[in-house]
Amino acid sequence: MNFSDRHVVVTGGTGALGIAVVGALLDAGAVCHVPWHKEQEAEQFPHRGHRQVVLVGNTNLSDEAGVARLFGGVEQLWASIHLAGGFAMSPVAETGKAALMQQVEMNFVTCFLCCRAAVNRMAGNKNGGRVVNVAARGALEWRSGAGMAAYTASKAGIAALTAALAEEVAKDGILVNAVAPSIMDTPANREAMPKADYAAWPKVEEVAKTILFLASPDNRVTRGAIVPVYGKA
């Protein structure tokens, strides 16, 4: 997959999956635009000094102005990969409106605003573009979201958004897809679940490969897909 000189936005690029995605994109020749919200994220980002990385600071992805500033600085946007989000686990009976809206803002709203900015930026590209979102296993298997319904609903919204948007912009040559991971093998997840079978969890590098294909010029026909990336879990 050749991304030479192609500009790609990667939200959530400073996270565990994001670091793997950005690393793979850089190896493929891409120029990566990576927003960050907290200074510590940028300081610890391993690709910080790479000549093909553009870090965009103090970016609130749930704010329209912040998203517009991020995408406005990208010339000839080829792909936009939306990994930013957050997780919270609590039963419905214990989830208040504030906690619900936090999940909606962190997951669905950030994804929606970035999708909107991306397709507007790609509209003039003669070769179209690619958008890749991140849903979750619970977005496809709703019953598995018991105990984390707010998170599950916000991710199900991303799945629905992906399919609907894919239909809207196919005529422009913009292919929109999503991946739906199960629990991924990250340091944070290992710490949270020390007795789990880590071997069954998909590795971030493996999930990154699926994302890269969907975002690449090699993907010529796949759109509106919510691709399970469960590993052996």
Beta bridge partners of 134: 179
Q: Residues 29-71: pLDDT tens digits?
A: 999 999 999 899 999 999 999 999 999 998 999 999 999 999 9
Q: Copy the structure tokens of residue 146.
A: 């018991």
pLDDT at 56: 96
pLDDT at 23: 98
Q: Which CATH class is domain 7-229?
A: alpha beta
**Is pLDDT at 1 greater than 90 in this prediction?**
no
pLDDT at 124: 84
Q: Residues 113-160: pLDDT tens digits?
A: 999 999 999 998 999 999 999 999 999 999 999 999 999 999 999 999
Contacts with 229 (C-beta within 8 Å, 6 or more apart), sequence order: 179, 180, 181, 182, 202, 206, 207, 210
| Per-domain boundaries in the chain | 7-229
Q: Residues 169-205: pLDDT tens digits?
A: 999 999 999 999 999 988 888 888 998 888 889 999 9
- Pair 12, 83: CB distance under 8 Å: yes
- Encode 80-149 in three state secondary structure: EEECCCCCCCECHHHCCHHHHHHHHHHHHHHHHHHHHHHHHHHCCCCCCEEEEEECCHHHHCHHHHCCEH
pLDDT at 233: 82
